[in-house]
Structures are given as C-alpha cells and as structure tokens.
Amino acid sequence: MKRLNVILFLLALAVLTVEAKDLKVAGIFGDNMVLQQKTVTPIWGWADTGTTVTVTSSWNDKSYSAKAGRDGTWRIMLHTPEAGGPYALTITGGKTITFSDIYIGEVWLASGQSNMAMQLKECYESTKAILTSQKSNIRFINVPPLGSYKPLTDIKADWVVAAPENVGDCSAVAWYFAHFIQENLGVPVGIINASFGGSVVETWMSRETCQTLGDISVPEVSDGTTGWEANIPTTMYNGMLNPIVGYGIQGCIWYQGESNVYNVSQYSDRLVAMVAEWRRKWGRNFPFYFTQIAPFDYTTWNVPSEVGEHVGAYLRDEQRKSMDRIENSGMAVILDVGEVEQIHPVRKEKVGERLGLMALAEVYDTKGFEYKSPVFERMEVDGDKAVIFFKDLYYGLTSYGKPLHLFEIADESKVFHPAEAYVDEERDVVIVSSKYVRNPKAVRYAFKNYVEPELFSLSGLPVSSFRTDNW
C-alpha cells in the first residue's frame, strides 16, 4: 500500500510538473516590443493554478512575482524607467521564457477602420518613408483582423522592428504619427495597430456597453468568428481589443466613421460611449486623438439616411461635436486630403502629422506652434449679417486671398442660400450675408459630401466644416 501511495504521489508530482511547464505569456508581448516609459505597466499570461510566476527585468535587475489564480491567469506589474534599451525580460514558472531586444519608449494604440488599416506601401509617395525607416527606432505590431462573437483572451502576432523590407505593412497613419513623434522626441515609439476595414463604431464596444445604449442589436455569445463582416456589434472588440486591453499605452489615435454614414445621428453618442469604455478598461483617462473623415462623394453609395444627400458632412459634424463631449481629446481635420471618388485618400502623411501635432502639444508639452484646426465656436447676428467666431485660433484666419464660396446662410424658413463671406482679419471672424436673407438664423460652411477647403489657419490647418443649426 505504501509503495502504491508513493507511486501515485510521484505520478501526481509529474503531472503538476508538466502542467507547470505550460507557462504562457499573452501574445501581445514578445521580442522587439516597446514598453511605455516611466510607468507601472502590466504583463500577463497563463499557468497552472497556484504556480508562482516571476518576471525579471534587465533594466533594474528586479524580480516581480505573482501566483496564477484558479482560472490559470497571472498578472504582474512592472516599473519601467525612462526611454532606452535594448533590454530583456525573463519569465519563469516551471519553465523559462525570455524576451529580448525590448525598448522603453512611447506606446500608442492605433485603431479604426480601413483608413487606419491602410498600409504604408499603399500610400502616395511612401517610398522615402520606407527607405528611411531603418534610421528610426519604431516598432509595430498588427493585431490580426478577426471578429468574434465572444471575448477572446489572446492573439498571435509579433512585434516588428521597422525596416524597408517590412515597414510597408505598417498602418500608414500610425507610421507617420509615430515617425513624427520619434523625430521630435528622440525616443523609441511602439505602435499597436488594431484596425479593421469597414468596421462601424458599434463593433468596437463590448456587449455590456452596447446594451446600455438600448437600440443596438447585439448578437448572441458563441464560439463563432468572422473575418469579413465588419458591421456586427461587439465583434471587433471581442476579437481584437479584449486580448490587448491593459497593455501600457500613452494614448490612442483613431480613424473611423465612414461606415457610420448609415446612422449618422447616433454616431456621437456611440463614439463617446466607446471611448469611455476603453478608458475604464485601461484604468486611465488616456488621450484620444481622432481623425475627421475626409471629403468623398457618398452619393455613389446610395446611402439610405435620415439626413439627406450630404451624409458625409453630417458625419463630420457629429465628429466635431464629439470633440467637445470627450475630454482629453482632439480632432485632426483633413478637409484638404479628400478625393471625390476614393474613400481611401492616399495622402496619409498629413493625417499622421496632424494627430502628432496634438500629441506633441498636449501630451509632451511642446510649445510655440499651432496644433489644432480652428473650429466653430458661436454665431452672433449683426443686422442682416452673421458673425462667425472660432476657437482654437493660434495666429489667425486666412483664405489666402481667395474668395469664400462654401458658406451658406438661412433665415427662419430653413432654406439655405449661397452666401457672401469674408474674413475680418482684425477680429479673426467671418462675416456672412446674403441679399435673400434679412434675418439670419443659421450658417453652414463646407457642408457637402465632397469639398475642397477655402478657410485655413495662418499656419495652414484647414478649418473644420460646420453648421450652426440642428435642423
């Protein structure tokens, strides 16, 4: 009997030893990664219940330990230093896993739909960026594009050291943003790209958040996945965001909205809810910088919409309003990079740099330059003229000496007429009038699907399209 008990004990010990060797680290971590500097950042994974997992960081030769819980998960918080590298991490718990060539720097999440997913190699004049990529210290990881009907916990992906042979696969907007930050700060930059072409904002929220909004049809939880249906609520959150939630980031850049022209009036509420959820999940009010969609002739889509023909203009305006509803946010206006017949404008450098301008000014406290496009603030009536005031003015307004043709004005009839408009350079306001309107009630600017801007800040940032009404 004693011999049998010994044998059983040894067999049990052998089983435990084998299970302990199943130590695993979440797929968002790996060789070549960038960790956010000067913070407490998590690393997590799985092991047998009760296994003690230890992570040792080479930058301070310190070890941090935790036990795997009943569900087999473990999570350890690391203290990161100022930017630098290369470093290594050693993870032990029945077996040893080592990650090398790790840099400490600035990490940003890039997300959205196809204009964020669009790769550098697909963009206008990207050859120079590709050829010079090896001189930068930028690393990126592309989260596999996958929708899921239940929250997934892991991904299979690798961090990539940017070089001419691979950087073409990086998100173009994310690359130009990262390069702009790296060039001005001189620190390593890491980009986590979690974007999916054609995805609506509802797909990027959890089941719980979608249900709080009330009018979203949420699919049942199941083991199914989807690689192409980008309009199913919760699926991108489940498949692409949930597995990486918590990775140490400085902030998020976002480029999405074209697919929501089908439900424009709901967009702002849903974007606000999405950002609030992401911040709750990450446990911090990180900066959120988003791109206003570019002009495009949406009439070719035959969009069934409650707002009429110019759905693109209404969506841009919903985004403009969202900026005031989401604290610690900013909107990159790209009214000057649209293409009338191309939903994917190929000039992405301006997009990335305009997102980068806001990050430099607000996150990294760089001063002395204009970093936001002027946006509508209020309208005042002066006799038969409307006076339009703007905020986020740094130097002033200009039309570069060209006449303004994109302003419209209406009275209580709600009928808009082409307006005469000019910049009052002393007050940095725009004066708008029409011989057909004696009592102005509303003004719109560039309020069409496709426009080419005519009003700018003195440093060249286009003024956002807007409407003063809510008709």
Taking the domains of the chain in order of start, what are their residue ranges?
104-362, 375-467
CA distance 56 to 46: 17
Q: DSSP label at 121? A: G
Assign 316 to helix, strand or coil: helix
Length of the chain: 471
CA distance 470 to 320: 13
**Helix count (H) and strand count (E) of the chain?**
9, 26
* Residue 315 to residues 34, 204, 265, 465, Cα–Cα distance (Å): 35, 18, 8, 10
CA distance 292 to 343: 13
- Nearest to residue 372, comparing CAs of 471, 462, 442? 462
CA distance 130 to 95: 39
- Nearest to residue 456, comparing CAs of 401, 405, 398? 398
Token pair of 147 as six digits: 């929708």
* Residue 224 to residues 113, 293, 388, Cα–Cα distance (Å): 21, 31, 52
User: Under CATH, what is the fold of the domain 104-362?
Assistant: Rossmann fold (3.40.50)
CA distance 30 to 21: 18
CA distance 52 to 33: 24
Phi, psi of 263 (to 5 degrees): -145, 60
CA distance 395 to 469: 27
Q: Give the pLDDT of residue 2.
A: 43
Sequential DSSP letters for 164-208: TTTGGGSBHHHHHHHHHHHHHH-S-EEEEEEE-TT--GGGGS-HH
Question: Hey, how many other C-beta atoms are within 10 angstroms of the C-beta on 90?
Answer: 15
pTM of the model: 0.94
Q: Give the pLDDT of residue 306.
A: 75
* Residue 302 to residues 202, 299, 315, Cα–Cα distance (Å): 21, 5, 15
Q: Give the pLDDT of residue 212.
A: 94
Pairing of strands 24-25, 40-46: antiparallel
Q: Give the pLDDT of residue 1.
A: 45
Rounding to the nearest 10 degrees, give the CA dihedral for residues 293, 139, 199, 302: 40
Q: Give the pLDDT of residue 260.
A: 95
Q: Give the pLDDT of residue 352.
A: 98
Q: Give the pLDDT of residue 9.
A: 38
Per-residue pLDDT of the chain (471 residues; tens, 9 = 90+): 444 443 433 444 344 333 444 999 999 999 999 999 999 999 999 999 999 999 999 999 999 999 999 999 999 999 999 999 999 999 999 999 999 999 999 999 999 999 999 999 999 889 999 999 988 999 999 999 999 999 999 999 999 999 999 999 999 999 999 999 999 999 999 999 999 999 999 999 999 999 999 889 999 999 988 777 788 999 999 999 999 999 999 999 999 999 999 999 999 999 999 999 999 999 999 999 999 999 999 998 888 877 888 999 999 999 999 999 999 999 999 999 999 999 999 999 999 999 999 999 999 999 999 999 999 999 999 999 999 999 999 999 999 999 999 999 999 999 999 999 999 999 999 999 999 999 999 999 999 999 999 999 999 999 999 999 999
Pairing of strands 416-418, 407-410: antiparallel
Q: Give the pLDDT of residue 104.
A: 98
- Nearest to residue 295, comparing CAs of 268, 319, 270, 272? 319
Sequential DSSP letters for 201-252: GGGGS-HHHHHHHSS--PPPP-S-EESS-TTSTTHHIIIIIGGGTTS--SEE
- 4 CB-near residues (< 8 Å, 6+ apart): none
Q: Give the pLDDT of residue 308.
A: 80
